[in-house]
Structure 1
Amino acid sequence: MLTRRNFIPMLASGGSMAGAQPRRPNIVIIVADDLGWNDVGYHGSRIQTPHLDRLAQEGVRLDQFYCCPVCSPTRAGLLTGRYPIRYGMMHWGIAPYDRHGLPAEERTLAAVLRDAGYTRRAAVGKWHLGHARREFHPLSHGFTSFYGYYNSAIDHFTLMRDGQRDWHRDWSPSTDQGYATDLIADEAIRFLKASSTAEPFFLYLAFDAPHIPLQAPEASLKPYRGWPEPRRTYAAMVTHMDHAIGRVLKALDDTGLAHDTVVLFLSDNGGDPNAGGDNRPFRGGKATTFEGGIRVPAILRWPRSLQGGRICKSPVRYIDVLPTMARLVGAAARGGKPLDGVDVWDQVRGTSTARPQSLYSFIGSVEREHLALMEDGWKLVRVGQTILRAGSESRAQVYLFRIDEDPFETRNLAGDNPKLVQKMLTKLRAFRALHPTHIPIHTGGDANRPPAWSPPKDWAVPEAG
């Protein structure tokens, strides 16, 4: 079994999943924003997602793909292979007025691929990993081009956030007009058409949909006439995004790139039930550490080397993406800092059933936080004041589930297993203490907005600061 200890030596010696290969694969990672488990057709949803359904048929459905409860943390861990709590980005999404972001010393998948010889590395769509300093920008993290927006929750038609237009090409404001989902797909297609079958590339494609504000073109709303709001507009946004993904997949086919391209699709967190999302049959949703908040739709397709039409039952974590992709391209995944993720390629292709390491989850503020730990078939969820505050345990809600037997989290076994609960709480306390003390913990919103704050014109990133 491949472990972190023998992983890097194997890569250095040229090890790969199938020995010598004619060329390294292209990598396309597609991220949906707030898509719930029950919001795709291949999970039985009434929402129309024919292109994702096709991708699921041609690829491998990752039935236990786990992410963070909200946006920025998943994106950070996905790109670094490290728990984002280590650099202060796990508690909530980056707010417009936040001064922190993805630190320059964190090595991203784009940088890994750069060092492996991938010369074209595009970030398209939502960034949401910091915008207050140049070091947080995609072009400072290994990408060669960027097109999209820095914040979250932009107006999908006007592309505005807090009174300023948030749409950019590389460092400069873009004057492009249109519905954000379409603009994002258009740029991805331009990138693919400019690509060569002789040179591998990396495309990180992060859609805006179906995140609030709920807005959809009229044509996309028509199939859902009679559905109640907000479900109707949410469904329309999902179907419109599915159509955009279909256009991207068609571009891969038309350019002859599809056979040699690894496509990974995932949602960044569970759906928000208050904004139309549906995570049934799982408990909870976005901003919780119950399964509905962190277990999301995910698919991996690689026609050249991966047998499709299967379901991978092994857990795969968002932090496992970087080391797994690094193995596929024969690259060294680590750049001076230890990874929390591991290579799970053997589990995905069905040659191993080994379970990955523990999964830690965290979201919230000092006054109310969600923590979870999943290991050895058990899952502990703690909700309450910060676990680091003395005396908070007596007021916290603690749940223990045998998650491999009770994935819907219906039977709380905490009272029957007090020693196990205390053991897992001790581990959660140590994990929670990893958050850097110089980065304030909050959950966004106007209550945390500095009184004199206003956004920069066109959300321009300052030259310094």
Structure 2
Amino acid sequence: MILLALVPLGLFAPVGRAAEPVPARPNVVVILSDDMGFSDLGCYGSEIATPNLDALAAGGLRFTQFYNSARCCPTRASLLTGLHPHQAGVGHMLAETGKPGYTGGLNSSCRTIAEVLKPAGYRNYAVGKWHVTRHAAKDGPKDNWPLGRGFDRYYGTIHGAGSFYDPSSLVRDDTMISPFADPSYKPATYYYTDAISEHATRFVGDHAKDHAGKPFFLYVAYTAAHWPMHALPEDVAKYRGKYDTGYEPVRKARFEKAAQLGLIDPKQPLSPQAGNWDAVKDKRWEAAGMEVYAAMIDRMDQGIGKLVAELKRTNQFDNTLILFLQDNGGCAELMGRTGNKEHQNIDRPEKPTFPVMKPEEFAFDGSVPKQTRDGYPVRMGPKAMPGGPDTYVAYGRGWANVSNTPFREYKHWVHEGGISTPLIAHWPKGIAAKGELRKQPGHLIDIAATCVELSGAEYPKTVDGHTITPLEGKSLTAAFADKPLTRDLFWEHEGNRAARSGDWKLVAKGPGAKWELYDIAADRVESTDLATKYPDRVKELAYKWEAWATRAKVIPWISKPDYVPAAD
């Protein structure tokens, strides 16, 4: 740790900048959003108001080729451990399969960032969506809950999705609580995004008061903007009518803005348009889904602003590395868009049809509640105008295509639209560059390696008799200084698979699908398959992928996944 403090700032400063002493070990804040696309932030091309994230980008760095693991559970497992998701035991979702890469939760061969940083003197806090254990019940095992994996404080949901007004599996530290019988947090209107922001802000303030002599690691995992489309009326009002012209004009505007910002190559075309706006029967309902989605992101950004303000108030901002990224691309899932037997396509009844719930009651077990707290049925389908607590609707494939501008495909798939994420890096005392872009390909496995380097922590080889899998990522400090991150990158999820070596990317959609080959430097939108033109390149990359898949416990893949994506 002492040696780290003496390393010259040349590790983090762009070439040509004067070297300065590296500050004491920084605090690290990792902020992860849910089911958002590459272009959904203002500083990445969007029309959505994200002034606080835009300010962090202006005062730091934006990465243009950063990658996640295509879906919620695998990304979270990979981010927390610095391993590929299969190595951490979460190669698919959270079903126990008996296969080492698919154990349904973090395994004993991995260590979370919090577990590694704790022996180095860090305090560790987690807020928001956990979703890396199959045990989400209040009376089940808790060894894979946050406090069992190195965190000192936690507020959030163990489960992966749910109502923003009444989230299931809500936990404070190790105790499951009802959001309406919580003596520690009593807002006038409970909204989960606000609760996440409030508790992240509290943890920062409490740390400054009670543990000022120690650095901290804070993991903030928002559920915005995952379905259901739930947002507060005052935020939705800002976007009313903004999407009435449909998908194509918004995509074009985002493309032009992203190109102007230098984030994409304007010489490369947009990916094909998904959805025909002229054929949409209920344009008001369709546009409302995107209005609410935008409002969800807006509200998250407001909360990030409050967190930043607290870091500044407590004099911790300058020596805090803030990283913002997303867990996968925009989501084309059709949840709630047609309704089902329990949540029919019905109008809101004039009076409640269920008993009013008591504050201490738990609303439901799972993702979709049957009723609201005041007794109204939760509705799906085109009669359920998104936004309020009695609705449960996704924004759909057409808008997901907008979110992923300019790329192909969505969450689940490992084409660029499924795995490309913004990465904002801000650290006043450690990154001299302001408002610069970093075009080095990076991956969320690099975040744990970055934390280990900056903290001076020792990554263990064994713990309690278990051999610990070595870190897979590279520290991003080289990229902060605009130096290369040279290595091959690999992906697999649900049989979708990819390998990237330099500017060449090999990718396949679904089990048994043929490999496609793209020159990412010339064709990042993956429009021209070069597999038949360069068969030797395909063989070379396929061999590398097979070797990685064997080493990383990808093979054998689950024969019957618990989710089969809809056909494209």
Scaled by the length of structure 1, what TM-score is found? Answer: 0.84
* Residue 529 (structure 2) pairs with residue 412 (structure 1): yes
- Residue type of the alignment partner of 2:530: L
Mean CA deviation greater in 261-270 or 12-21: 12-21
Q: Identity rate of aligned residues, in percent?
A: 35
Secondary structure of 1:258 counterpart: coil
Q: For 1:397-408, list aligned pairs within 5 A.
A: 397-408=514-525
Match of 2:69 in 1: 68
Structure with more helix by fraction: 1
Q: 1-side partners of 2:196 and 2:301: how far apart?
A: 13
Q: 2:450–2:474: 8 Å Cα contact kept in structure 1?
A: yes
TM-fit CA distance, 1:15: 7.2
Match of 2:231 among 216, 229, 250: 216
* Residue 492 (structure 2) pairs with residue 362 (structure 1): yes
Q: 2-side partners of 1:12 and 1:199: how far apart?
A: 15
Scaled by the length of structure 2, what TM-score is found? Answer: 0.69
Match of 1:179 in 2: 191
Q: What whole-Å deviation, never above 9, does each CA across 1:305-324 have from its counterpart, x for those lacking one?
A: 21221111111110011111
Match of 2:200 in 1: 188
Q: 1-side partners of 2:68 and 2:564: how far apart?
A: 26
Match of 2:430 in 1: 305
Distance change >3 Å, CA 374–CA 80, structure 1 → 2: same
- Residue type of the alignment partner of 2:474: V
Distance change >3 Å, CA 446–CA 268, structure 1 → 2: closer
Match of 2:310 in 1: 251
Q: 2-side partners of 1:12 and 1:94: how far apart?
A: 41
Match of 2:216 among 193, 201, 215: 201
Q: For 1:258-273, list aligned pairs within 5 A.
A: 258-273=317-332
Match of 1:150 in 2: 158
Secondary structure of 1:259 counterpart: coil
Give me the CA root mean square deviation. 2.4
Distance change >3 Å, CA 15–CA 414, structure 1 → 2: farther
Distance change >3 Å, CA 145–CA 50, structure 1 → 2: same
Q: 1:88–1:439: 8 Å Cα contact kept in structure 2?
A: no
Distance change >3 Å, CA 31–CA 109, structure 1 → 2: same
Q: 1:16–1:328: 8 Å Cα contact kept in structure 2?
A: no
Instruction: Name which one, 1 or 2, has greater alpha-carbon Rg.
Output: 2
Distance change >3 Å, CA 192–CA 315, structure 1 → 2: same
Q: 1:123–1:204: 8 Å Cα contact kept in structure 2?
A: yes
Q: 1:37–1:296: 8 Å Cα contact kept in structure 2?
A: yes
Q: 2-side partners of 1:441 and 1:54: how far apart?
A: 46
* Residue 117 (structure 2) pairs with residue 117 (structure 1): no
* Residue 237 (structure 2) pairs with residue 237 (structure 1): no
Q: 1-side partners of 2:454 and 2:32: how far apart?
A: 20
Instruction: List alignment gaps of at least 5 residues for structure 1.
Output: 1-10, 161-165, 386-391, 448-465
Secondary structure of 2:86 counterpart: helix
Q: 2:125–2:217: 8 Å Cα contact kept in structure 1?
A: yes
Q: 2:507–2:517: 8 Å Cα contact kept in structure 1?
A: yes
Q: 1:326–1:332: 8 Å Cα contact kept in structure 2?
A: yes
- Residue type of the alignment partner of 1:420: R
TM-fit CA distance, 1:173: 1.4
TM-fit CA distance, 1:82: 1.1
Match of 1:429 among 546, 549, 565: 546
Q: 2-side partners of 1:99 and 1:355: how far apart?
A: 31
Match of 2:510 in 1: 384
TM-fit CA distance, 1:52: 0.9
Q: 2-side partners of 1:355 and 1:21: how far apart?
A: 21
Q: 2-side partners of 1:114 and 1:442: how far apart?
A: 38
TM-fit CA distance, 1:406: 1.5
Q: 1-side partners of 2:554 and 2:404: how far apart?
A: 32
Q: 1-side partners of 2:195 and 2:453: how far apart?
A: 32
Secondary structure of 2:56 counterpart: helix
TM-fit CA distance, 1:63: 1.5
Q: 2-side partners of 1:333 and 1:382: how far apart?
A: 34
Distance change >3 Å, CA 446–CA 14, structure 1 → 2: closer
Distance change >3 Å, CA 363–CA 99, structure 1 → 2: closer
Q: 2-side partners of 1:138 and 1:89: how far apart?
A: 16
Distance change >3 Å, CA 439–CA 360, structure 1 → 2: closer
Q: 1:87–1:435: 8 Å Cα contact kept in structure 2?
A: no
Q: 1:75–1:129: 8 Å Cα contact kept in structure 2?
A: yes
* Residue 41 (structure 2) pairs with residue 31 (structure 1): no
Match of 1:288 in 2: 413
Match of 1:338 among 458, 467, 470: 470
Match of 2:149 among 141, 145, 163: 141
Q: 1:49–1:242: 8 Å Cα contact kept in structure 2?
A: yes
TM-fit CA distance, 1:446: 10
* Residue 110 (structure 2) pairs with residue 106 (structure 1): yes
Q: 2-side partners of 1:446 and 1:421: how far apart?
A: 27
Structure with more strand by fraction: 1
Distance change >3 Å, CA 170–CA 215, structure 1 → 2: same
Distance change >3 Å, CA 438–CA 137, structure 1 → 2: farther
- Residue type of the alignment partner of 2:308: L
